[in-house]
């Protein structure tokens, strides 16, 4: 296939295309979805296809197909070329800024991530058994548990990437994911608990994490919240646990640092490179090189070898996250953050693993000098406006802090404010970094796997309110 791909690329270049690349992907996936002991889905499928980008003058053309035969390969390249040509004739293209693509080097590589246990070697009945065990463990945990749903995914992907700069990469990687969602009811009160596990690794992750334990954790969280109280309202000091810290930095900071948002004037971080925008003890990075993480990859979807990128270093904004095009336009170094959900989608600037580096505080020290405040854990949901730099999140669970002691358990805690204000109001970073949330990040209709690694962080003040529960029906 290498020869055919290179011939197709040479063909569009001979037609005056400035640049072209192709992703050829084949994925094997198992899906098991269980809700209230009923299998809603149990399937195994194979999906394959190609995605082609062509840059003609200042316009991109993109075409994809699930037909990977040799005759269709050339047709797909021609379609992308014709689209880019047609767009180049428009008035908007004639007025557009010249597209610059940052250099990414040449060379070939064959990378295979070998799992300890290949998901392909585990029978569907064994996978179903573990899902059922997680379900039973969650339901048996408490009579208050009324609904349990479990989503199990595993897959193995073979991907070939090639471009007109001479890059040729072959990758093979496994992945697994499991999420348990439990809903508890007491009278008219409903609360939800969610726990997830996952990694770019093999079935060993599922076995090592123990699905039954994951189910119990989700159920226990839901039950704990049934008797929790609503929080006080107002601007209060807040300690965020590792999960909330990680998701906050991902959502409020990370999306604003994506260079496409910066270029389109949709980010509060535009023009702030080199500025001190946060507490001097805060360092935040994006790092797809963390092995056995959910956001791991060896190469991004432009053939860039993955690397760690510091976004904030000691409180100073030092970098945005880039594709090769955004790096070219902003005269920056590419950061290996071009990611696409699959071959049918265009690569976008995306995060991978959001990492908040440790400080010098322990959790007890953070609480000791807080006469009154909130300890907020996890995130249930929320929204971020990268243009205005505003956010609103709901914590999964929380505690009231009184005279340095955790007192009442709280529920439906909402946190809102301005991202830059919160970054400046951080006054303590913990020394207890660990893996936080495991999930999928959405942007422009695409979802890609991500995770976070963070310590506890204390903020001098955030606007706190009692959010209306998102789980008011089953």
**Sequence ranges of the domains in the chain:** 2-227, 234-466
Q: Which CATH superfamily is domain 2-227 in?
A: PmbA/TldD superfamily (3.30.2290.10)
Task: For residue 381, give both structure tokens.
Answer: 């949901």
d(CA 397, CA 380): 9
d(CA 297, CA 306): 7
Report how far Cα 253 is from the mean position of its chain's Cα atoms.
Answer: 13
Matching residue, tokens 């507490």? 279
Q: Which residues of 319-328 are buried (b: 16+ CB within 10 A; e: fewer)?
A: bbbbbbbbbb
Cβ neighbours of 282 (radius 10 Å): 22
pLDDT tens digits in sequence order for the chain, 474 residues long: 889 999 999 999 999 999 999 999 999 999 999 999 999 999 999 999 999 999 999 999 999 999 999 889 999 999 999 999 999 887 565 666 789 999 887 899 999 999 999 998 999 999 999 999 999 999 999 999 999 999 999 999 999 999 999 999 999 999 999 999 999 999 999 999 999 999 999 999 999 999 999 999 999 999 999 999 999 999 999 999 999 999 999 999 999 999 999 999 999 999 999 999 999 999 999 999 999 999 999 999 999 999 999 999 999 999 999 999 999 999 999 999 999 999 999 999 999 999 999 999 999 999 998 999 999 999 988 889 999 999 999 999 999 999 999 999 999 999 999 999 999 999 999 999 999 999 999 999 999 999 999 999 999 999 998 754 333 322
Cβ proximity of 408 and 400 under 8 Å: yes
Longest dimension (CA), the chain: 73
pTM score > 0.85 for this model?
A: yes
Beta bridge partners of 63: 52
Three-point CA angle 173, 177, 180, nearest 5°: 180
Secondary structure of the chain: what % helix, strand, coil (to 5)? Answer: 25, 40, 35
């Amino acid at each position: 296939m290498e020869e055919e791909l290179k011939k197709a690329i040479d063909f569009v270049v001979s037609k005056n295309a400035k640049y072209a690349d192709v992703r050829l992907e084949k994925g094997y996936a198992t899906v098991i979805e269980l809700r209230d002991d009923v299998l809603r889905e149990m399937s195994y499928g194979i999906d394959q296809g190609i995605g082609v980008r062509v840059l003609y003058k200042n316009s991109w053309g993109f075409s994809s197909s699930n037909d990977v035969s040799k005759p269709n390969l050339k047709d797909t390249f021609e379609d992308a070329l014709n689209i880019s040509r047609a767009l180049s004739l428009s008035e908007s293209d004639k007025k557009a800024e010249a597209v610059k693509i940052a250099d990414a080097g040449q060379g070939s590589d064959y990378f295979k991530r070998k799992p300890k246990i290949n998901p392909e070697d585990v029978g569907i009945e064994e996978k179903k058994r573990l899902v059922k065990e997680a379900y039973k463990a969650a339901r048996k945990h408490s009579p208050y548990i009324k609904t349990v749903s479990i989503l199990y995914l595993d897959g193995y992907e073979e991907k070939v990437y090639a471009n007109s700069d001479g890059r040729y990469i072959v990758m093979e990687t496994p992945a697994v994911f499991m999420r348990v969602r439990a809903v508890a009811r007491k009278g008219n009160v409903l609360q939800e608990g969610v726990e997830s596990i996952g990694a770019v690794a093999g079935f060993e992750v599922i076995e090592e994490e123990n699905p039954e334990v994951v189910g119990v954790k989700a159920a226990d969280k839901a039950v704990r919240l049934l008797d929790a109280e609503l929080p006080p309202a107002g601007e209060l000091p807040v300690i965020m646990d590792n999960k909330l810290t990680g998701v906050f930095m991902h959502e409020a900071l990370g999306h604003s640092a994506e260079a496409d948002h910066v270029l389109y004037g949709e980010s509060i971080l535009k023009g702030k490179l080199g500025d001190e925008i946060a507490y001097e003890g805060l360092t935040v990075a994006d790092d797809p090189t963390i092995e056995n993480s959910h956001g791991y990859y060896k190469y991004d979807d432009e053939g860039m070898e993955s690397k760690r990128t510091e976004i904030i270093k000691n409180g100073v904004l030092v970098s945005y996250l880039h594709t090769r095009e955004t790096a070219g336009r902003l005269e920056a170094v590419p950061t290996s953050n071009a990611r696409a959900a699959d071959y049918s989608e265009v690569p976008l600037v995306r995060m991978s693993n959001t990492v908040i580096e440790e400080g010098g505080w322990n959790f007890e020290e953070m609480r000791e000098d807080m006469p009154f405040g909130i300890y907020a854990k996890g995130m249930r949901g929320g929204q971020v406006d990268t243009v205005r730099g505003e956010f609103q999140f709901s914590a999964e669970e929380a505690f009231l802090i009184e005279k340095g002691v955790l007192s009442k358990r709280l529920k439906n805690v909402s946190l809102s404010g301005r991202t830059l204000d919160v970054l400046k109001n951080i006054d303590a970073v913990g020394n207890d970094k660990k893996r936080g949330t495991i999930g999928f990040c959405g942007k422009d209709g695409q979802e890609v796997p991500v995770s976070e690694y963070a310590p506890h962080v204390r903020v001098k003040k955030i606007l706190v309110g009692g959010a209306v529960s998102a789980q008011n029906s089953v």
